Structure 1
Protein backbone atom coordinates (compact mmCIF):
# COMPACT_ATOMS: atom_id res chain seq x y z
CA UNK A 1 0.00 0.00 0.00
CA UNK A 2 1.17 3.62 -0.44
CA UNK A 3 3.23 5.13 2.34
CA UNK A 4 1.22 7.53 4.48
CA UNK A 5 2.34 11.11 3.70
CA UNK A 6 5.42 12.23 5.58
CA UNK A 7 6.53 8.85 6.89
CA UNK A 8 10.17 7.91 6.26
CA UNK A 9 10.88 4.34 5.15
CA UNK A 10 13.06 1.81 6.97
CA UNK A 11 14.08 -1.67 5.83
CA UNK A 12 14.98 -4.33 8.40
CA UNK A 13 16.36 -7.75 7.47
CA UNK A 14 16.04 -10.74 9.76
CA UNK A 15 12.92 -9.04 11.12
CA UNK A 16 11.00 -12.18 12.07
CA UNK A 17 12.37 -12.60 15.58
CA UNK A 18 15.02 -11.54 18.07
CA UNK A 19 16.95 -8.34 17.41
CA UNK A 20 15.36 -7.78 14.00
CA UNK A 21 11.83 -7.94 15.37
CA UNK A 22 12.82 -5.65 18.23
CA UNK A 23 14.32 -2.99 16.01
CA UNK A 24 11.40 -3.15 13.55
CA UNK A 25 8.98 -2.49 16.41
CA UNK A 26 11.15 0.35 17.74
CA UNK A 27 11.43 2.04 14.34
CA UNK A 28 7.68 1.72 13.84
CA UNK A 29 7.14 3.44 17.18
CA UNK A 30 9.59 6.15 16.07
CA UNK A 31 7.35 6.93 13.11
CA UNK A 32 8.89 4.91 10.28
CA UNK A 33 7.02 2.85 7.74
CA UNK A 34 8.92 -0.42 8.10
CA UNK A 35 9.58 -3.03 5.42
CA UNK A 36 10.24 -6.40 7.03
CA UNK A 37 12.10 -9.29 5.49
CA UNK A 38 13.20 -12.75 6.65
CA UNK A 39 12.67 -16.28 5.39
CA UNK A 40 9.59 -17.03 7.50
CA UNK A 41 6.35 -15.28 6.53
CA UNK A 42 4.71 -16.50 9.72
CA UNK A 43 7.33 -14.82 11.90
CA UNK A 44 7.20 -11.64 9.81
CA UNK A 45 3.42 -11.51 10.17
CA UNK A 46 3.83 -11.68 13.94
CA UNK A 47 6.30 -8.78 13.88
CA UNK A 48 4.06 -6.76 11.58
CA UNK A 49 1.06 -7.31 13.86
CA UNK A 50 3.02 -5.84 16.79
CA UNK A 51 4.08 -2.70 14.90
CA UNK A 52 1.85 0.34 15.43
CA UNK A 53 2.66 1.84 12.03
CA UNK A 54 2.50 0.63 8.41
CA UNK A 55 4.54 -2.41 7.42
CA UNK A 56 5.43 -4.35 4.30
CA UNK A 57 5.96 -8.09 4.78
CA UNK A 58 8.44 -9.37 2.21
CA UNK A 59 9.69 -12.94 2.77
CA UNK A 60 13.01 -13.59 1.04
CA UNK A 61 16.17 -15.65 1.16
CA UNK A 62 18.81 -12.93 0.94
CA UNK A 63 21.51 -15.43 -0.03
CA UNK A 64 19.78 -16.12 -3.35
CA UNK A 65 21.25 -14.26 -6.34
CA UNK A 66 19.10 -11.26 -7.17
CA UNK A 67 17.04 -11.48 -3.96
CA UNK A 68 18.36 -8.23 -2.47
CA UNK A 69 17.73 -6.26 -5.66
CA UNK A 70 14.20 -7.68 -5.93
CA UNK A 71 13.53 -6.84 -2.29
CA UNK A 72 14.57 -3.20 -2.58
CA UNK A 73 12.81 -2.86 -5.92
CA UNK A 74 9.59 -3.94 -4.22
CA UNK A 75 10.00 -1.46 -1.36
CA UNK A 76 10.65 1.37 -3.80
CA UNK A 77 7.68 0.41 -5.97
CA UNK A 78 5.26 0.12 -3.05
CA UNK A 79 6.60 2.97 -0.94
CA UNK A 80 9.90 4.80 -1.55
CA UNK A 81 13.63 4.25 -1.24
CA UNK A 82 14.58 3.35 2.35
CA UNK A 83 16.40 6.04 4.25
CA UNK A 84 17.18 3.66 7.11
CA UNK A 85 18.52 0.15 6.48
CA UNK A 86 19.23 -2.29 9.31
CA UNK A 87 21.07 -5.36 8.06
CA UNK A 88 20.36 -7.79 10.87
CA UNK A 89 19.90 -11.17 9.14
CA UNK A 90 22.62 -13.57 10.19
CA UNK A 91 23.45 -17.01 11.49
CA UNK A 92 26.25 -18.88 13.21
CA UNK A 93 27.87 -22.27 12.94
CA UNK A 94 30.21 -23.99 15.38
CA UNK A 95 33.10 -26.23 14.38
CA UNK A 96 36.86 -26.35 14.78
CA UNK A 97 38.82 -25.06 11.82
CA UNK A 98 39.77 -28.54 10.62
CA UNK A 99 36.16 -29.73 10.84
CA UNK A 100 34.60 -26.69 9.12
CA UNK A 101 33.25 -27.81 5.75
CA UNK A 102 33.29 -25.78 2.56
CA UNK A 103 29.51 -25.65 2.79
CA UNK A 104 29.58 -24.21 6.32
CA UNK A 105 32.24 -21.68 5.34
CA UNK A 106 30.28 -20.53 2.31
CA UNK A 107 27.03 -20.36 4.27
CA UNK A 108 28.57 -17.93 6.75
CA UNK A 109 30.05 -15.73 4.03
CA UNK A 110 26.85 -15.70 1.97
CA UNK A 111 24.52 -14.64 4.78
CA UNK A 112 26.76 -12.62 7.10
CA UNK A 113 28.93 -10.82 4.56
CA UNK A 114 27.73 -11.04 0.95
CA UNK A 115 24.06 -10.30 1.69
CA UNK A 116 24.89 -7.09 3.65
CA UNK A 117 27.30 -6.06 0.88
CA UNK A 118 24.57 -6.44 -1.73
CA UNK A 119 22.16 -4.51 0.47
CA UNK A 120 24.56 -1.61 0.84
CA UNK A 121 25.37 -1.63 -2.87
CA UNK A 122 21.68 -1.48 -3.78
CA UNK A 123 20.49 1.14 -1.26
CA UNK A 124 23.40 3.60 -1.16
CA UNK A 125 22.70 5.37 -4.50
CA UNK A 126 19.25 6.61 -3.45
CA UNK A 127 20.58 7.71 -0.05
CA UNK A 128 23.39 9.67 -1.70
CA UNK A 129 20.92 11.30 -4.08
CA UNK A 130 18.72 12.31 -1.13
CA UNK A 131 21.68 13.58 0.88
CA UNK A 132 20.63 11.53 3.88
CA UNK A 133 20.71 7.90 4.98
CA UNK A 134 21.43 5.59 7.88
CA UNK A 135 22.83 2.09 7.46
CA UNK A 136 23.36 -0.12 10.49
CA UNK A 137 24.79 -3.63 10.27
CA UNK A 138 24.31 -5.98 13.20
CA UNK A 139 27.72 -7.60 13.48
CA UNK A 140 29.08 -9.19 16.67
CA UNK A 141 31.96 -8.85 19.09
CA UNK A 142 33.28 -11.69 16.92
CA UNK A 143 33.93 -8.93 14.37
CA UNK A 144 36.76 -7.78 16.63
CA UNK A 145 37.85 -10.84 18.62
CA UNK A 146 38.63 -14.42 17.74
CA UNK A 147 37.01 -17.27 19.66
CA UNK A 148 37.60 -20.99 19.22
CA UNK A 149 35.19 -23.12 17.19
CA UNK A 150 33.54 -20.27 15.29
CA UNK A 151 36.17 -19.48 12.67
CA UNK A 152 33.76 -19.20 9.73
CA UNK A 153 31.36 -17.00 11.68
CA UNK A 154 34.21 -14.86 13.01
CA UNK A 155 35.72 -14.41 9.56
CA UNK A 156 32.39 -13.32 8.11
CA UNK A 157 31.83 -10.81 10.94
CA UNK A 158 35.36 -9.41 10.65
CA UNK A 159 34.65 -8.98 6.95
CA UNK A 160 31.37 -7.16 7.42
CA UNK A 161 32.95 -4.73 9.89
CA UNK A 162 35.57 -3.97 7.26
CA UNK A 163 32.79 -3.34 4.75
CA UNK A 164 31.11 -0.94 7.19
CA UNK A 165 34.31 1.00 7.80
CA UNK A 166 35.20 1.36 4.13
CA UNK A 167 31.66 2.34 3.11
CA UNK A 168 31.52 4.91 5.91
CA UNK A 169 34.66 6.60 4.66
CA UNK A 170 33.39 6.66 1.08
CA UNK A 171 30.13 8.26 2.19
CA UNK A 172 31.39 10.56 4.94
CA UNK A 173 30.57 13.78 3.05
CA UNK A 174 27.25 12.66 1.58
CA UNK A 175 24.95 12.72 4.61
CA UNK A 176 24.90 8.92 4.74
CA UNK A 177 26.29 7.15 7.80
CA UNK A 178 27.30 3.50 8.05
CA UNK A 179 27.83 1.83 11.42
CA UNK A 180 27.91 -1.61 12.99
CA UNK A 181 26.54 -2.76 16.32
CA UNK A 182 28.58 -5.56 17.86
CA UNK A 183 26.66 -7.50 20.51
CA UNK A 184 27.94 -10.21 22.79
CA UNK A 185 25.66 -13.14 23.56
CA UNK A 186 22.08 -11.87 23.38
CA UNK A 187 18.98 -13.49 24.83
CA UNK A 188 17.55 -14.55 21.46
CA UNK A 189 16.59 -17.76 19.63
CA UNK A 190 20.06 -17.75 18.04
CA UNK A 191 21.66 -18.02 21.46
CA UNK A 192 19.23 -20.77 22.42
CA UNK A 193 20.48 -22.67 19.38
CA UNK A 194 24.04 -22.14 20.63
CA UNK A 195 23.01 -23.55 24.00
CA UNK A 196 21.57 -26.64 22.32
CA UNK A 197 24.79 -27.07 20.36
CA UNK A 198 26.89 -26.91 23.53
CA UNK A 199 24.64 -29.48 25.19
CA UNK A 200 24.89 -31.84 22.23
CA UNK A 201 28.67 -31.60 21.96
CA UNK A 202 29.71 -31.44 25.62
CA UNK A 203 27.01 -33.21 27.60
CA UNK A 204 26.47 -30.19 29.81
CA UNK A 205 22.96 -29.39 30.95
CA UNK A 206 21.14 -26.48 29.25
CA UNK A 207 21.49 -24.51 32.48
CA UNK A 208 25.25 -25.09 32.56
CA UNK A 209 25.61 -24.15 28.89
CA UNK A 210 23.61 -20.97 29.33
CA UNK A 211 25.62 -20.03 32.44
CA UNK A 212 28.85 -20.44 30.44
CA UNK A 213 27.58 -17.97 27.84
CA UNK A 214 26.41 -15.56 30.52
CA UNK A 215 29.86 -15.68 32.12
CA UNK A 216 31.46 -14.42 28.89
CA UNK A 217 30.01 -11.01 29.72
CA UNK A 218 31.53 -9.29 32.77
CA UNK A 219 28.01 -8.33 33.84
CA UNK A 220 27.40 -12.11 34.10
CA UNK A 221 24.19 -12.20 32.09
CA UNK A 222 23.05 -12.26 28.50
CA UNK A 223 22.55 -8.96 26.70
CA UNK A 224 18.89 -8.11 26.14
CA UNK A 225 17.33 -7.44 22.76
CA UNK A 226 16.27 -4.02 24.03
CA UNK A 227 19.90 -3.10 24.82
CA UNK A 228 20.96 -3.92 21.27
CA UNK A 229 17.98 -2.06 19.82
CA UNK A 230 18.94 1.08 21.77
CA UNK A 231 22.42 0.95 20.25
CA UNK A 232 20.93 0.61 16.76
CA UNK A 233 18.65 3.58 17.38
CA UNK A 234 21.66 5.62 18.48
CA UNK A 235 23.26 4.92 15.10
CA UNK A 236 20.05 5.97 13.36
CA UNK A 237 19.67 9.20 15.32
CA UNK A 238 23.28 10.40 15.46
CA UNK A 239 24.53 11.86 12.19
CA UNK A 240 27.95 12.56 13.67
CA UNK A 241 28.74 8.89 14.20
CA UNK A 242 29.93 6.81 11.27
CA UNK A 243 32.37 3.98 10.63
CA UNK A 244 31.94 2.70 14.17
CA UNK A 245 31.56 -0.79 15.62
CA UNK A 246 29.52 -0.15 18.75
CA UNK A 247 30.08 -2.86 21.37
CA UNK A 248 27.10 -4.07 23.40
CA UNK A 249 28.66 -6.91 25.33
CA UNK A 250 28.56 -6.06 29.01
CA UNK A 251 32.13 -4.78 29.03
CA UNK A 252 33.80 -7.86 27.63
CA UNK A 253 35.63 -6.02 24.88
CA UNK A 254 36.62 -2.51 25.90
CA UNK A 255 37.46 0.08 23.28
Structure 2
Protein backbone atom coordinates (compact mmCIF):
# COMPACT_ATOMS: atom_id res chain seq x y z
CA UNK A 1 0.00 0.00 0.00
CA UNK A 2 1.50 3.34 -1.03
CA UNK A 3 1.60 6.32 1.32
CA UNK A 4 -1.32 8.07 -0.38
CA UNK A 5 -3.55 5.02 0.00
CA UNK A 6 -2.44 4.56 3.59
CA UNK A 7 -3.24 8.16 4.42
CA UNK A 8 -6.83 7.66 3.20
CA UNK A 9 -7.26 4.14 4.58
CA UNK A 10 -10.41 5.12 6.49
CA UNK A 11 -12.13 6.91 3.61
CA UNK A 12 -15.90 6.58 3.99
CA UNK A 13 -15.75 5.55 7.64
CA UNK A 14 -17.45 7.52 10.42
CA UNK A 15 -15.60 7.77 13.74
CA UNK A 16 -16.80 9.11 17.08
CA UNK A 17 -14.22 10.29 19.62
CA UNK A 18 -15.37 11.04 23.16
CA UNK A 19 -13.36 13.47 25.27
CA UNK A 20 -12.30 15.06 22.00
CA UNK A 21 -11.81 18.61 23.21
CA UNK A 22 -8.12 18.31 24.09
CA UNK A 23 -5.16 16.01 24.68
CA UNK A 24 -5.33 12.45 23.41
CA UNK A 25 -8.86 12.81 22.05
CA UNK A 26 -7.94 15.81 19.90
CA UNK A 27 -4.79 14.05 18.64
CA UNK A 28 -6.81 10.95 17.74
CA UNK A 29 -9.38 13.04 15.90
CA UNK A 30 -6.61 14.65 13.84
CA UNK A 31 -5.12 11.25 12.93
CA UNK A 32 -8.50 9.85 11.92
CA UNK A 33 -9.28 12.86 9.74
CA UNK A 34 -5.92 12.56 7.99
CA UNK A 35 -6.74 8.90 7.35
CA UNK A 36 -9.93 9.96 5.56
CA UNK A 37 -12.54 9.31 8.24
CA UNK A 38 -15.46 11.58 8.98
CA UNK A 39 -15.17 12.47 12.67
CA UNK A 40 -17.69 13.43 15.33
CA UNK A 41 -16.14 14.89 18.46
CA UNK A 42 -18.02 14.50 21.71
CA UNK A 43 -17.33 16.14 25.05
CA UNK A 44 -18.71 18.23 27.88
CA UNK A 45 -16.99 21.52 27.04
CA UNK A 46 -18.60 23.11 23.97
CA UNK A 47 -15.93 25.81 23.68
CA UNK A 48 -13.14 23.25 23.53
CA UNK A 49 -14.97 21.18 20.96
CA UNK A 50 -15.51 24.27 18.80
CA UNK A 51 -11.83 25.12 19.13
CA UNK A 52 -10.84 21.69 17.85
CA UNK A 53 -13.35 21.91 15.02
CA UNK A 54 -11.83 25.24 13.95
CA UNK A 55 -8.32 23.80 14.19
CA UNK A 56 -9.06 20.60 12.28
CA UNK A 57 -11.86 21.53 9.89
CA UNK A 58 -9.53 21.85 6.90
CA UNK A 59 -8.57 18.17 7.25
CA UNK A 60 -12.04 16.74 6.62
CA UNK A 61 -15.68 16.51 7.63
CA UNK A 62 -16.31 17.11 11.31
CA UNK A 63 -19.17 17.53 13.74
CA UNK A 64 -19.29 18.30 17.46
CA UNK A 65 -21.87 17.04 19.97
CA UNK A 66 -22.06 17.74 23.67
CA UNK A 67 -22.22 14.74 25.99
CA UNK A 68 -21.70 13.69 29.57
CA UNK A 69 -20.50 10.11 29.17
CA UNK A 70 -21.46 9.24 32.74
CA UNK A 71 -25.14 10.01 32.05
CA UNK A 72 -27.23 7.36 30.30
CA UNK A 73 -29.74 9.88 28.97
CA UNK A 74 -27.02 12.25 27.74
CA UNK A 75 -25.24 9.45 25.89
CA UNK A 76 -28.50 8.27 24.32
CA UNK A 77 -29.32 11.79 23.11
CA UNK A 78 -25.83 12.36 21.72
CA UNK A 79 -25.57 9.11 19.79
CA UNK A 80 -29.09 9.50 18.43
CA UNK A 81 -27.73 12.44 16.42
CA UNK A 82 -24.77 10.70 14.78
CA UNK A 83 -26.10 8.22 12.26
CA UNK A 84 -24.15 5.03 11.54
CA UNK A 85 -20.83 4.72 13.35
CA UNK A 86 -17.97 2.53 12.14
CA UNK A 87 -15.34 3.48 14.72
CA UNK A 88 -15.76 4.39 18.38
CA UNK A 89 -12.92 5.80 20.43
CA UNK A 90 -13.92 5.78 24.11
CA UNK A 91 -11.43 8.37 25.27
CA UNK A 92 -13.26 10.50 27.85
CA UNK A 93 -11.73 10.09 31.28
CA UNK A 94 -10.89 11.73 34.56
CA UNK A 95 -8.27 11.09 37.23
CA UNK A 96 -8.28 12.12 40.87
CA UNK A 97 -5.85 11.06 43.56
CA UNK A 98 -6.45 10.40 47.24
CA UNK A 99 -5.12 7.95 49.83
CA UNK A 100 -7.44 4.96 50.08
CA UNK A 101 -8.55 5.90 53.59
CA UNK A 102 -9.58 9.33 52.26
CA UNK A 103 -11.38 7.98 49.19
CA UNK A 104 -15.04 8.72 49.87
CA UNK A 105 -18.02 7.36 47.96
CA UNK A 106 -18.32 10.49 45.84
CA UNK A 107 -14.76 10.18 44.52
CA UNK A 108 -15.10 6.41 44.05
CA UNK A 109 -18.35 6.74 42.14
CA UNK A 110 -17.07 9.61 39.99
CA UNK A 111 -14.05 7.60 38.86
CA UNK A 112 -16.24 4.61 37.98
CA UNK A 113 -18.92 6.72 36.27
CA UNK A 114 -16.61 8.64 33.95
CA UNK A 115 -13.90 6.09 33.28
CA UNK A 116 -15.84 2.81 33.19
CA UNK A 117 -19.57 3.43 32.89
CA UNK A 118 -18.86 5.96 30.14
CA UNK A 119 -17.14 3.24 28.10
CA UNK A 120 -20.07 0.88 28.70
CA UNK A 121 -22.68 3.44 27.67
CA UNK A 122 -20.86 4.58 24.54
CA UNK A 123 -20.19 1.03 23.44
CA UNK A 124 -23.77 -0.01 24.08
CA UNK A 125 -24.97 2.85 21.88
CA UNK A 126 -22.92 1.83 18.82
CA UNK A 127 -22.59 -1.95 19.03
CA UNK A 128 -26.00 -3.00 17.66
CA UNK A 129 -25.40 -1.04 14.46
CA UNK A 130 -21.91 -2.44 14.07
CA UNK A 131 -23.19 -5.99 14.48
CA UNK A 132 -25.96 -5.37 11.96
CA UNK A 133 -23.46 -4.10 9.36
CA UNK A 134 -20.83 -6.71 10.23
CA UNK A 135 -18.10 -4.14 10.81
CA UNK A 136 -16.82 -2.10 13.71
CA UNK A 137 -13.72 -0.88 15.49
CA UNK A 138 -13.93 -0.01 19.19
CA UNK A 139 -10.84 1.35 20.91
CA UNK A 140 -10.99 2.12 24.62
CA UNK A 141 -8.36 4.56 25.86
CA UNK A 142 -7.53 3.03 29.22
CA UNK A 143 -4.20 3.59 30.98
CA UNK A 144 -1.26 1.71 32.38
CA UNK A 145 -3.39 2.08 35.52
CA UNK A 146 -5.53 -0.61 33.92
CA UNK A 147 -2.53 -2.95 33.75
CA UNK A 148 -0.67 -2.33 37.01
CA UNK A 149 -1.36 -0.57 40.29
CA UNK A 150 -0.38 2.92 41.42
CA UNK A 151 -0.52 4.25 44.95
CA UNK A 152 -3.10 6.91 45.87
CA UNK A 153 -5.33 6.34 42.82
CA UNK A 154 -7.15 3.16 43.83
CA UNK A 155 -10.49 4.30 42.42
CA UNK A 156 -8.97 5.34 39.11
CA UNK A 157 -6.99 2.09 38.84
CA UNK A 158 -10.09 0.05 39.65
CA UNK A 159 -12.04 1.83 36.90
CA UNK A 160 -9.29 1.41 34.31
CA UNK A 161 -8.82 -2.26 35.20
CA UNK A 162 -12.55 -2.53 34.61
CA UNK A 163 -12.13 -1.03 31.14
CA UNK A 164 -9.50 -3.65 30.30
CA UNK A 165 -11.76 -6.43 31.58
CA UNK A 166 -14.72 -5.11 29.59
CA UNK A 167 -12.52 -4.92 26.49
CA UNK A 168 -11.45 -8.55 26.79
CA UNK A 169 -14.92 -9.87 27.51
CA UNK A 170 -16.67 -7.99 24.71
CA UNK A 171 -13.95 -8.89 22.22
CA UNK A 172 -14.78 -12.56 22.78
CA UNK A 173 -18.51 -11.96 22.32
CA UNK A 174 -18.08 -10.27 18.94
CA UNK A 175 -14.98 -12.08 17.66
CA UNK A 176 -16.78 -13.62 14.67
CA UNK A 177 -18.97 -10.60 13.92
CA UNK A 178 -16.51 -8.30 12.13
CA UNK A 179 -16.06 -6.10 15.20
CA UNK A 180 -12.79 -5.72 17.07
CA UNK A 181 -12.48 -4.33 20.60
CA UNK A 182 -9.13 -3.21 21.95
CA UNK A 183 -7.69 -0.96 24.64
CA UNK A 184 -4.77 1.43 24.38
CA UNK A 185 -3.02 2.00 27.70
CA UNK A 186 -0.93 5.17 27.81
CA UNK A 187 1.59 5.85 30.51
CA UNK A 188 2.06 9.39 31.79
CA UNK A 189 1.13 11.54 28.79
CA UNK A 190 1.65 15.26 28.24
CA UNK A 191 -1.97 16.29 28.77
CA UNK A 192 -4.02 18.28 31.25
CA UNK A 193 -4.39 15.12 33.34
CA UNK A 194 -0.62 14.99 33.76
CA UNK A 195 -0.49 18.66 34.67
CA UNK A 196 -3.18 18.10 37.28
CA UNK A 197 -1.14 15.22 38.74
CA UNK A 198 1.94 17.41 38.94
CA UNK A 199 -0.03 20.16 40.65
CA UNK A 200 -1.35 17.69 43.21
CA UNK A 201 2.18 16.53 43.99
CA UNK A 202 3.52 20.05 44.37
CA UNK A 203 0.58 21.19 46.50
CA UNK A 204 0.86 18.27 48.92
CA UNK A 205 4.66 18.03 49.13
CA UNK A 206 7.62 20.39 49.24
CA UNK A 207 8.70 19.41 45.72
CA UNK A 208 8.89 21.78 42.78
CA UNK A 209 7.16 20.93 39.51
CA UNK A 210 10.50 19.90 38.03
CA UNK A 211 11.12 17.55 40.96
CA UNK A 212 7.59 16.20 40.62
CA UNK A 213 8.21 15.53 36.94
CA UNK A 214 11.40 13.69 37.77
CA UNK A 215 9.53 11.54 40.30
CA UNK A 216 7.04 10.43 37.66
CA UNK A 217 9.71 9.93 35.01
CA UNK A 218 11.58 7.43 37.17
CA UNK A 219 8.98 4.79 36.32
CA UNK A 220 9.57 5.22 32.58
CA UNK A 221 12.58 3.35 31.11
CA UNK A 222 12.82 5.94 28.33
CA UNK A 223 12.85 8.74 30.92
CA UNK A 224 10.29 10.81 29.02
CA UNK A 225 6.57 11.31 28.96
CA UNK A 226 4.41 9.98 26.16
CA UNK A 227 2.99 12.45 23.64
CA UNK A 228 -0.71 12.48 22.67
CA UNK A 229 0.36 11.89 19.06
CA UNK A 230 2.14 8.67 20.01
CA UNK A 231 -1.03 7.38 21.66
CA UNK A 232 -3.06 8.48 18.63
CA UNK A 233 -0.74 6.52 16.33
CA UNK A 234 -1.52 3.33 18.25
CA UNK A 235 -5.25 4.05 18.14
CA UNK A 236 -5.13 4.73 14.40
CA UNK A 237 -3.36 1.45 13.68
CA UNK A 238 -6.06 -0.50 15.52
CA UNK A 239 -8.68 1.16 13.29
CA UNK A 240 -6.95 0.67 9.95
CA UNK A 241 -7.16 -2.26 7.52
CA UNK A 242 -4.59 -4.87 8.45
CA UNK A 243 -5.30 -4.83 12.18
CA UNK A 244 -8.23 -7.26 12.00
CA UNK A 245 -6.41 -9.96 13.99
CA UNK A 246 -5.95 -7.58 16.92
CA UNK A 247 -8.85 -7.88 19.34
CA UNK A 248 -9.16 -8.12 23.10
CA UNK A 249 -5.70 -6.58 23.48
CA UNK A 250 -4.40 -3.93 25.87
CA UNK A 251 -1.63 -2.12 24.04
CA UNK A 252 0.72 -0.33 26.42
CA UNK A 253 2.06 2.98 25.08
CA UNK A 254 4.36 3.74 27.95
CA UNK A 255 8.01 3.78 26.96
CA UNK A 256 8.52 0.29 28.37
CA UNK A 257 6.96 0.96 31.79
CA UNK A 258 4.65 -2.04 31.28
CA UNK A 259 5.93 -5.13 29.47
Partner of 1:104: 107
Partner of 1:72: 79
Aligned ranges 1:5-154 → 2 under 5 Å:
7-51=12-56, 52-76=59-83, 81-154=84-157
**Would you say 1:198 and 2:201 are equivalent positions?**
yes
Q: Alpha-carbon deviation of 1:203?
A: 2.0
Normalised TM-score (structure 2): 0.93
> What is the RMSD computed on CA atoms of the aligned residues?
0.9
Normalised TM-score (structure 1): 0.94
Partner of 2:231: 228
For 1:174 and 1:152, how far apart are their aligned partners in 2?
33
For 1:242 and 1:65, how far apart are their aligned partners in 2?
26
Structure 1 residue matching 2:180: 3-state secondary structure: strand
CA contact 2:135–2:177 (8 Å) conserved in 1: yes
Moved over 6 A (4+): none
For 2:145 and 2:225, how far apart are their aligned partners in 1?
15
Partner of 1:3: none
For 1:144 and 1:127, how far apart are their aligned partners in 2?
28
Structure 2 residue matching 1:86: 3-state secondary structure: strand
Structure 1 residue matching 2:89: 3-state secondary structure: strand
For 2:188 and 2:117, how far apart are their aligned partners in 1?
23
Q: Alpha-carbon deviation of 1:178?
A: 0.2
Unpaired segments ≥5 residues, structure 2: 1-10
For 2:225 and 2:218, how far apart are their aligned partners in 1?
8
Q: Alpha-carbon deviation of 1:215?
A: 1.9
Unpaired segments ≥5 residues, structure 1: 1-5
CA contact 1:141–1:183 (8 Å) conserved in 2: yes
